[in-house]
A and B are shown apart, each in its own frame.
Chain A
């Protein structure tokens, strides 16, 4: 008996090693092969082409108050951001990237239609936005707030937010004061949405640090979160209702949004099929929040009710996608997983079938679907990268890459577990002293089989960088039906991963334009039906981490050679059906008046 028991005991101890060996052998098998194999196996590969495309942008981090010097790299670890827009309506998607060093310039890379880009930010007035004393940029979102046909831009900052009106794609005019934006905030997230479907885009901005904190002139070092997982001492939230005359009215508290959690990402989508945009917020140092839109009149926080408001983690992205082609959105939230230290796991919130009316219940299926462990994950986006008809997932990872041989994790975890009085004071945080904190991490490219399993293929398909990834955005830069990936890296270069998709895979892209609805069509939903399948997508005014994909909706169709129909639900409530649209091309659809 003793011998048998001892054998069992040894077998139990060996179990984790066996599991790991098995998983590593699978991963090793996956990384064998080159582009041809990636193309045949996974249907696409990525090639990093930023420099050859004319993009030579390197993000620089700010230098904050000297009181934060010991932990500067950790505090100033965000700011790299990318958003996609066709700012001059020439039919080619452009790239806007922000910088975060005092005095540094943002860049607007105009797509020249030949595979190259040229920075025109200075020419159009969108470059010099990080002047000392005004704070630094942390992101930008585009939306046509005055319905003149050209996308305007909000640049949010740790500092003075800026709203610019797009003057016919030629120049941008600063309209911050007229719009009524606050003089100072510390935001890492903002999105355009039309929460009341009145045809005018509203604006949601989520604060991270409190708005009375000037990170360059600190009155106190007690500016840090009061808890690693339950913090409610962050920045306020703003919901600006568009009054239609270039002015906005701040209505967040009146409409039920009063959180002071440390928001890092927000996404608006019609999660319940009500016709109104609900608001999902991913919070660092705490649980996510779900604000249900009450018919455009108010919001009701229902995170716990929906199942997403438990098990606090470190939310850093918010992305929605119809993962199983069921016409319902899942929500992806990135978190932290560091081997042997903290295994939060990312969340894939899948809607449960049979949820009660008026609410959607979610279940975290990240583990089952295989999209859970992504290191220190930041921005993530759903997109059909291989045009097989199912949404894949690109996740940027890595936090602070300094000395690769010394880790800050021990000291970080020491103070992170401390009581409020300790953790909230930056003076108590041990110096980072040139050490890395989850640095030099490999990215995650998870491709979906459409049946609820994702496979990680980043190394094989060419996403091999180890920069500190932050913001991810998708766009079809060459109008050829393949989604390229732009990644903004903290203290690193902007990367442009050009995608090559295997031949024989079809696609359709929808360019929607609102007439009764907001002209950007943000919030419009398109349900594409083909070959017995269906996929729902929504035009987004910002998603992921500090990012915005192209507004155009991209659907992969696999080997199917026709689409049955496209059902469009406009924010105005209008419904439109496009029957048998041409595939392998961009289809422009205007909302009927």
Chain B
């Protein structure tokens, strides 16, 4: 069943897992759409309380508030509906965590670009880019003097990283997106080995980036975004692989923001191809077949 286009990048509804009760307790009875926001909020709070991960709470709050407010306004004006706030919340909090700037305005601007992009850049009623990925990439290109991206670690402790990986894996598995994450991680590791052999740097140096929180947010919340990935499982696996491939090419060109740009390039291209193929199939299905007469 197709979801209405105005639900944007909200996570999957609960219906897919209805009737399946994993044994890990009531936690998993929470509606799927609330799991990613819950996880990302936990990451935010734990990261800030323990490690001072954020530039400041106020900047992140500004990003979230801008995102939610603008989504509500544009949802009413453009689609005449009240959008579910989970989507805008994820966009805002992603911007608030991933963007780094000593200024306040980039947080508001980035959220505004992200939300507005959902309503402006549409094809066949669907938006093509993951909003926060598009906006962060835009900010990195257009405002490099004012912004960078999250580059800190989870302190010095391996356990924090492991816990986030486990929680993130459980949640993506629950929302049936774990194969995307897994494909990307495996591809990244394989490409790290290839890069290492090509440029001569150690394998660990090539793997290093994926051990940080930025990548955890990227692989659990950005590349798994249901509204901006293709629909078939095989297609999703292929897209995740292609994102990792594009990232490797960008990394070989010493591009520091390779994962963001890779997803910005591959994600919408894949989505556009799918929309185009669907539309062709639909056209073909709707075209009446020519009548074949029996030979006399």
Contacts and interface: CB of A to CB of B under 8 A. Distances in A.
A and B from one complex: yes
- Interface-centre pick from B54, B55, B142, B153 (highest chain A CB count, 10 A): B153
A422 B206 CA distance: 10
A339 B144 CA distance: 5
B125 to A, nearest CB: 13
30 contacts: A1-B78, A5-B74, A6-B120, A9-B120, A13-B142, A16-B109, A17-B142, A229-B153, A230-B156, A231-B156, A311-B56, A312-B51, A312-B52, A340-B145, A343-B147, A366-B102, A373-B102, A410-B256, A411-B205, A411-B254, A414-B208, A417-B151, A417-B209, A417-B212, A418-B207, A420-B157, A420-B158, A422-B204, A428-B204, A430-B202
B270 interface: no
Given A16-B139, A226-B156, A427-B202, 16 more contacts: A6-B120, A16-B142, A16-B143, A19-B146, A230-B153, A338-B148, A340-B145, A367-B102, A410-B254, A410-B256, A413-B256, A414-B205, A417-B208, A417-B209, A417-B212, A428-B204
A420 B256 contact: no
Contacts of A8: 116
A247 interface: no
Contacts of B158: 419-421
A409 B142 CA distance: 19
Given A16-B109, A311-B56, A422 B116 contact: no
A419 B147 contact: no
B123 to A, nearest CB: 13
Contacts of A413: 151, 256
B170 interface: no
Interface string A301-340: 0000000001110000000000000000000000000111
B206 A419 contact: no
Contacts of A418: 153, 204-205, 207-209, 211-212
B59 to A, nearest CB: 11
Contact of A227 (B146, B155, B251): B155
Contacts of B214: 417
Contact of A423 (B199, B208, B256): B208
Contacts of A373: 102, 145
A422 B256 contact: no
Contacts of A427: 202
Nearest to B109: A15
Interface string B52-89: 10111000000000000000001001100000000000
A343 B151 contact: no
Nearest to B209: A417
B151 A414 contact: no
A367 B103 contact: yes
Interface string A1-43: 1100110110011011101100000000000000000000000
A8 B70 CA distance: 12
A376 B32 CA distance: 45
B6 to A, nearest CB: 15
B156 A420 contact: yes
Given A311-B55, A418-B212, A422-B211, A342 B151 contact: yes
Contacts of A13: 113, 138, 142
A372 B156 contact: no
Given A9-B117, A311-B52, A409 B256 contact: yes
A9 B131 CA distance: 13
Interface residues of A, number: 57
B100 interface: yes
Contacts of B199: 430
A429 B256 CA distance: 16
Contacts of B208: 414-415, 417-419, 422-423, 428
Interface in B198-249: 199, 201-202, 204-209, 211-212, 214
A265 interface: no
B145 A310 contact: no
A460 B93 CA distance: 42
B201 A411 contact: yes
Interface in B253-289: 254-257
A345 interface: yes
B102 A372 contact: yes
A535 to B, nearest CB: 28
B74 A12 contact: no
Interface string B150-188: 011101111001000000000000000000000000000
A128 B243 CA distance: 58
B130 interface: no
Contacts of B155: 227, 230
A227 B102 contact: no
A6 B78 CA distance: 12
B161 A419 contact: yes
Nearest to A407: B254
B43 interface: no
A342 B148 contact: yes
A345 B102 contact: yes
A156 interface: no
B121 to A, nearest CB: 8
A415 B205 contact: yes
Given A310-B52, A342-B148, A9 B142 contact: no
B112 interface: yes
Contacts of B152: 228-230, 312, 417
Contact of A287 (B52, B201, B206): B52
Nearest 5 pairs of A and B residues by beta carbon = A418-B208, A340-B144, A16-B143, A345-B102, A410-B254
Contacts of A409: 256
Contact of A5 (B106, B116, B146, B254): B116
Contacts of A367: 102-103
A353 interface: no
B128 to A, nearest CB: 14
B16 to A, nearest CB: 32
